[in-house]
Amino acid sequence: MSRFLSAAGCLLVLLVHTSNAANQIIENPEHKVKTRREKKKSAVLAHAHHSTSTRGSLAQHGQVKDKTMLKIENHKRLNRREKKEVARAEMATYKDMRRQGVDEISNTREAALLRNYRLRNKKKIGLLRKKEASLAQVLFPGVSPEEYMNGERVWIYADLVESKKTQVPYEYYDLPGCPLPLETEGLKRKRMRKNLGARLQGHDMKPAPFDLYTLKDKPCTPMCLVRLEGKKLRWMRKMIERQYRVQLQLDSLPVLMRSKEMNYAVRGYPIGFRPPITANDRRRPKEQKPDVYLYNHLKFDITYHEDPQQFEGIRITGFDVHPVSIAHDIPENGPVTPNTQLSTCVGFNVENDPKTFLNLSFEQGNSISVIYSYDIQWIQNELQWADRWDVYLVGAPDDEIHYYSIVNSLMIVLFMTGAIATIMIRTLRKDIAGYNELQTLEEAQEETGWKLVHGDVFRPPQSYPMLLSVMVGTGAQIGSAFVFALLLAIFKITNSMKKGQMLTSIIFLYVLCGSIAGFISARIYKYCEAKNWKLNSIVTATALPGVFVCMFSILNIFLSMAGAATAVSFWTILALFLMWVCISAPLVFVGAFVGLKASSIDTPTKTNQIARFIPDAPWHMNAIVTMFMGGILPFGSVCIELAFIMSALWLHQIYYVMGFLLAVVAILAATCAQVSIVLCYLQLCAEDHRWWWKSFWNCAMAGFYLFLYSLWFLSSRLDLVGFLPVVVYLTYMSMISVCFGLFCGSVGFLSSFWFTRTIYGAVKVD
Q: Which of 762, 86, 48 lies closest to 428 in space, CA to CA? A: 762
Mean pLDDT of the 317-324 span: 95
pLDDT for residue 8 is more than 50: no
pLDDT digits (tens, 9 = 90+) for 132-179: 677 777 777 767 889 999 999 999 999 999 998 888 999 999 999 998
Mean pLDDT of the 539-543 span: 92
Instruction: Report the percent of the chain where pLDDT is more than 70.
Output: 83
Are 189 and 744 contacting, i.e. CB atoms less than 8 angstroms apart? Answer: no
**What is the C-alpha separation between 169 and 282, in angstroms, rounded?**
31
**What is the C-alpha separation between 737 and 704, in angstroms, rounded?**
7
Q: Which of 648, 672, 650 lies closest to 661 in space, CA to CA? A: 648
Q: Which of 209, 537, 260, 247 lies closest to 373 in space, CA to CA? A: 209
**What is the C-alpha separation between 337 and 373, in angstroms, rounded?**
10
- Give me the pLDDT at residue 36, please: 41
pLDDT digits (tens, 9 = 90+) for 648-694: 889 888 888 888 889 889 999 999 999 999 888 888 888 888 888 99
**What is the C-alpha separation between 327 and 150, in angstroms, rounded?**
34
- Give me the pLDDT at residue 212, please: 93
When mean pLDDT is compared across 577-586, 707-716, 736-745, the lowest value belongs to: 577-586
- Give me the pLDDT at residue 468, please: 93
Return the number of other C-beta atoms located less than 10 Å from residue 75's C-beta: 10
pLDDT digits (tens, 9 = 90+) for 473-516: 999 999 999 999 999 988 888 888 888 889 999 999 999 999 99
How is the chain split among helix, strand and coil, in percent rounded to 5?
55, 10, 35
- Give me the pLDDT at residue 199, please: 84
pLDDT digits (tens, 9 = 90+) for 430-472: 766 666 665 554 543 445 566 777 777 888 888 888 999 999 9
- Give me the pLDDT at residue 172, please: 93
Q: Which of 398, 383, 397 lies closest to 320 in space, CA to CA? A: 383
Q: What is the largest CA-CA distance in the chain?
A: 112
pLDDT digits (tens, 9 = 90+) for 327-359: 999 888 778 899 999 999 999 989 999 999 999
The band of 604, judged by pLDDT with boundaries at 50, 70 and 90, is: confident
When mean pLDDT is compared across 78-82, 88-92, 94-98, 395-399, the lowest value belongs to: 395-399
pLDDT digits (tens, 9 = 90+) for 186-205: 666 666 567 788 888 888 88
More confident residue, 245 or 628: 245
Helical residues (DSSP H) of 193-246, grouped into ranges: 196-201, 231-241
**What is the C-alpha separation between 519 and 477, in angstroms, rounded?**
10
Residue 306 DSSP code: -
Return the number of other C-beta atoms located less than 10 Å from residue 313's C-beta: 15
Are 176 and 226 contacting, i.e. CB atoms less than 8 angstroms apart? Answer: yes
Question: Which residues on neighbouring strands pair with residue 307, listed in sequence order?
Answer: none
Q: Three-class SS string for 418-468?
A: HHHHHHHHHHHHHHHHHHHHHHHHCCCCCCCHHHHHCCCCCCCCCCCHHHH
| Angstrom distances, CA of residue 224 to CA of 250, 267, 377, 568 | 22, 25, 21, 31
When mean pLDDT is compared across 49-58, 454-463, 534-543, 696-705, the lowest value belongs to: 49-58
Q: Would you list the DSSP string of 488-542?
A: HHHTTSS-TTSTTHHHHHHHHHHHHTHHHHHHHHHHHHHHTT---HHHHHHHHHH
The top-scoring range by mean pLDDT among 11-25, 421-435, 530-544, 699-713 is: 699-713
Question: Which residues on neighbouring strands pair with residue 359, listed in sequence order?
Answer: 293
